[in-house]
Structure 1
Amino acid sequence: MPAYTVREWDKLPYGEDEGQIPALQADRLAALAARSTFAGRGGGGVLEHGRHALRARGVVGILAAGDISLEILPKIDVAPGETTDHQNAAIRKRLVHMLAVALDLKIDLGVIANIAWQRETLLEILIRIFCDKLTEALRKGMPRRYVNCEEDLPTLRGQLDIARQFTRHAANPSRLASRFDLLSEDTPLNRIMKAAVMCLTRISRRSANQQRLRELAFVYADIADVPISALGWEQVVIDRTNRSWQELFAMARLFLQNRYQTTTGGAGQGTAMLFEMNALFEEYVGRLIARALAGTGLTVSLQGGRLFCLSAQDSGHALFQTKPDILIRQGGRVAHVIDTKWKRIAARIEDPKQGVSQADVYQMMAYAQLYLAPRLTLLYPHHPGLGADDAVHSRYCITGHDTILETASIDVSNSSQVVARLRDLIIGGKA
């Protein structure tokens, strides 16, 4: 299968020239992207279908249509001077790290050889990680659970269902309406795992992954096949007996449900696994801030607050609810509001406003009015154009208030230091 890679906001030419995507296949990819929930009203929210090129937007992941696939990687700055393959490998590592933090997964990135990061797409890497984790978990045994069973047996098992006995077997007392609990492997959790295995079997193109998935499908042969739309997600209870399956459950949800987000086209149309980077960056930063502030007395709320801007004068109905990305409280009072923005800002010498949108400023001013926080931060991904280190770049006073609005950046490519940098940013006032 021909596989192409493009980064956010970059263009990928199509046509008949060597190395270009054939026009018909480009049309298929664009049509698949237009069916995504991220496509927007005009259908171009994932890929802009230009006259001579496809242009990626702020959504990353994999599109596969027919015999072609397109991998869209986030625009994360990596070491200059490296080959494109090395740079893409570094970006895939960072993206998998962000997903691991957002989904609370323990993924050892070092167990995957550098050559695999260079040659395999993001989807195949995630499938490989899932297969390895599932195989390891199954070696310790498939989780089982007691399920309620009702059967008509020649001898009583468990309790007698009196109502069923005297309605169904009144004339045939040789059968006893039994009701009993059976320790079974055919549980909602195992059905979800099987559905994930079968789904990935259809979309994986890597022979090694296909082999792993076939072996796993054999293990799950006796588990009921349930359509993805009918899976009992709400019936799964993660407790001390199956705690080790929590990560696999989260990964299965990633593959099968709309999270950041996975979408699947119909039969013959192709498949897509896509992540909206604004939402992923917000969750990633929020979870890391919660880690950074553990033990400080500060509490972190993600998508909390939810205060309304207006109330109707006649009815009193609340209107225009706010949902700040991150609220930091001290002693029950909101001390800091952080809104994450997955976009590049300019250095102050290039643009005094740094490219911050007026809508974002208005939004933060509304937060200042509603939450009475003395400090507001617009947090962006760092890039070399802002200087060597991530930091607070600008501070502004909101007219008529003591509130400070600041712009800051955090380097997502430096995973080993990002928690400490966020702690310094919040507590020390600088990163």
Structure 2
Amino acid sequence: MKAWITVREYARLTTEPIDNPSLDRAHVSVTVFDWLCQLNESFERGGANLIQVEGRRWLRLDNYVGVLEAPCGTCLEILPKHLEATDDIVQGRQLLRRMIQAALDLPTREVGTAALELFDAPLSEWVMRQFLEALEYVIKRGVRFDYRRIEEEQPFLRGQLDVVGQMRQPPGKQHHFRIRHDLFGPDRPENRLLKLALEQVCRSTQVSSSWRLGHELRSMLSEVPASHDPRQDFRAWRTDRLMAHYQAVRPWCQLILDQTMPIAVAGQQYGMSLLFPMEQLFEQYVARYLERAKSSDTRLKTQAASAWLCRHAGGNFFQLRPDLLLSQGNRHWVLDTKWKRLNAEARNRNYGLSQADFYQLFAYGHKYLEGQGDVVLIYPAHSEFNDRLEVFDFSSTLKLWVLPFDLERTCLIGAETAGLPISNRASVGKALPV
């Protein structure tokens, strides 16, 4: 059995014994400690940090969430730190699943009460279960076959004779025929990818029901070889009418095979490793909510890139890329998401707001709104920040709103006061699939 360690963002891990382990402090073996340090080096080469080392016995996780499996078999589960003073693992897992499902636009399924037991499964087990149930649906609807061109040498004629190849036959083999023919079978890109993902699930799952279902499906796909080039096979994945029932399983297959970019950051492939940068996950989740909540005459654009900070020598300098841009007629709103905890009572410490963020929104307001309108900073809501702050005035015509986003109720608090053209009756990922 694999050893599971569940913590949350910014937790501290140590090789020393801990009397009262929690989601913020946990004990790991020396092997896992050293492996995390080595893994962090690869992240640093890519311009990111997975951990921060504090001495030789302590390290602190950064703001990545998901699951990492070490070579020794230890699984490290990292949950979002959205609630304070609580060790509610189930609630953290449900939030993480809901955010990933919404951010990656994964399909949902309606389920009965019998499936509720899987709600408490770690993220990797949940992903594998979703894949298995989607694959089971594909097999029940029918695995698609296709013709595959075969070129081989046989002592009999079949299909088409390869005249050029036959003329080049060496002496002593001229009684063998070089032939081409088409073979109708399940060996096609979609099925090869599903087989590769299924084999990884069968090796990784620790849930008995998923293990049984995985091996049942594996026997049904015994004639299908596993993919040797996933990227090429994903490019060849067809989306025509005959392949419509394959579309629901594709995102789960991509997630398992680490083909979902740019949100997913794949760990070392010792097992089922899935990491997500929490800032991007929160940004995508808010964007999905706004897409559903906005009025019909409102447009939403993510990562707008039409403005620059200045010009120099006839060219543009320093591109400005706000997270979200709402437009309704001639009115525009610039919104930026920040995965950070504010304290509405700590006015003497500027509520925890960053001066650099204000500079950033000030530039957005002048370049995208021409100095007239409203810009919005969105932070996760919690007990110390559950209502909007008083408006910040850059000028008489440019205002900055700081609004909390309630992750439990899936709504943007104070949106009406800020004049945003959205309705909080919409929600994202209301039904959590299993």
SS at match of 1:142: coil
**Aligned counterparts, 1:322-401, within 5 A:** 322-331=320-329, 333=330, 335-347=332-344, 349-351=346-348, 353-372=350-369, 374-387=373-386, 391-399=387-395
Tell me whether 233-242 or 87-96 shows the greater mean CA deviation: 233-242
SS at match of 1:366: helix
> Measured at CA, do residues 366 and 144 of structure 1 come closer, stay the same or move farther in structure 2, by a change above 3 Å?
farther
Supply the distance in 2 between the matched residues of 1:123 and 1:266 (Cα, whole angstroms).
13
> Measured at CA, do residues 244 and 336 of structure 1 come closer, stay the same or move farther in structure 2, by a change above 3 Å?
farther
Match of 1:406 among 394, 398, 401: 401
**Cα deviation per residue 1:225-265 (whole Å; 9 max; x = unaligned)?**
22355542222232333233323211222222253214132
Aligned partner letter, 2:250: F
**Cα deviation per residue 1:308-331 (whole Å; 9 max; x = unaligned)?**
333430xx3433222221111223
Supply the distance in 1 between the matched residues of 2:41 and 2:143 (Cα, whole angstroms).
37
**Cα deviation per residue 1:42-70 (whole Å; 9 max; x = unaligned)?**
x7x22333344342221011121113221
1:68 lines up with 2:71 in the alignment: no
> Measured at CA, do residues 256 and 35 of structure 1 come closer, stay the same or move farther in structure 2, by a change above 3 Å?
farther
The structure showing larger relative contact order (alpha-carbon pairs under 8 Å, at least 6 residues apart) is: 2
Aligned partner letter, 2:82: I
Supply the distance in 2 between the matched residues of 1:425 and 1:186 (Cα, whole angstroms).
56
Aligned partner letter, 1:411: D
SS at match of 2:333: strand
1:88 lines up with 2:89 in the alignment: yes
Is the 8 Å Cα contact of residues 264 and 276 (structure 2) preserved in structure 1?
yes
> Measured at CA, do residues 10 and 165 of structure 1 come closer, stay the same or move farther in structure 2, by a change above 3 Å?
closer
SS at match of 1:384: coil
1:310 lines up with 2:310 in the alignment: yes
Is the 8 Å Cα contact of residues 392 and 429 (structure 1) preserved in structure 2?
no
- 2:240 paired residue number: 239
Aligned partner letter, 2:343: A
**Aligned counterparts, 1:26-37, within 5 A:** 26-31=32-37, 33-35=39-41, 37=43
Is the 8 Å Cα contact of residues 293 and 423 (structure 1) preserved in structure 2?
no
- 2:420 paired residue number: 427
**Cα deviation per residue 1:366-398 (whole Å; 9 max; x = unaligned)?**
2222212622111111111113xxx43232222
SS at match of 1:393: coil
Is the 8 Å Cα contact of residues 95 and 407 (structure 2) preserved in structure 1?
yes
TM-score (norm 1): 0.80
Supply the distance in 1 between the matched residues of 2:253 and 2:400 (Cα, whole angstroms).
40
**Cα deviation per residue 1:259-293 (whole Å; 9 max; x = unaligned)?**
321413256xx663111111111111111211111
- 2:171 paired residue number: none
> Measured at CA, do residues 424 and 255 of structure 1 come closer, stay the same or move farther in structure 2, by a change above 3 Å?
farther
- 2:119 paired residue number: 117
SS at match of 1:186: coil
SS at match of 1:226: coil
> Measured at CA, do residues 330 and 178 of structure 1 come closer, stay the same or move farther in structure 2, by a change above 3 Å?
same
SS at match of 2:299: strand
Root mean square deviation of aligned Cα: 3.5
Supply the distance in 1 between the matched residues of 2:110 and 2:350 (Cα, whole angstroms).
38
> Measured at CA, do residues 326 and 410 of structure 1 come closer, stay the same or move farther in structure 2, by a change above 3 Å?
same
Match of 1:47 among 18, 38, 51: 51
SS at match of 1:232: helix
SS at match of 2:301: strand
Is the 8 Å Cα contact of residues 339 and 380 (structure 2) preserved in structure 1?
yes
- What is the CA-CA distance between 1:72 and the residue it aligns to? 0.6
Aligned partner letter, 2:328: Q
Supply the distance in 2 between the matched residues of 1:93 and 1:9 (Cα, whole angstroms).
19
Supply the distance in 2 between the matched residues of 1:174 and 1:311 (Cα, whole angstroms).
72
Aligned partner letter, 1:395: V
Match of 2:317 among 316, 319, 334: 319
Is the 8 Å Cα contact of residues 336 and 378 (structure 2) preserved in structure 1?
yes
Is the 8 Å Cα contact of residues 299 and 328 (structure 1) preserved in structure 2?
yes
Aligned partner letter, 1:256: L
1:261 lines up with 2:277 in the alignment: no
**Aligned counterparts, 1:143-158, within 5 A:** 143-145=144-146
Is the 8 Å Cα contact of residues 394 and 406 (structure 1) preserved in structure 2?
yes
Is the 8 Å Cα contact of residues 77 and 413 (structure 1) preserved in structure 2?
no
> Measured at CA, do residues 15 and 113 of structure 1 come closer, stay the same or move farther in structure 2, by a change above 3 Å?
farther
Aligned length: 405
> Measured at CA, do residues 189 and 35 of structure 1 come closer, stay the same or move farther in structure 2, by a change above 3 Å?
farther
> Measured at CA, do residues 386 and 131 of structure 1 come closer, stay the same or move farther in structure 2, by a change above 3 Å?
same
Is the 8 Å Cα contact of residues 25 and 68 (structure 1) preserved in structure 2?
no
Tell me whether 143-152 or 218-227 shows the greater mean CA deviation: 143-152
> Measured at CA, do residues 277 and 253 of structure 1 come closer, stay the same or move farther in structure 2, by a change above 3 Å?
same
Runs of 5+ in structure 2 lacking a partner?
Answer: 169-173, 425-434
- What is the CA-CA distance between 1:213 and the residue it aligns to? 2.4
Identity of aligned residues (%): 24
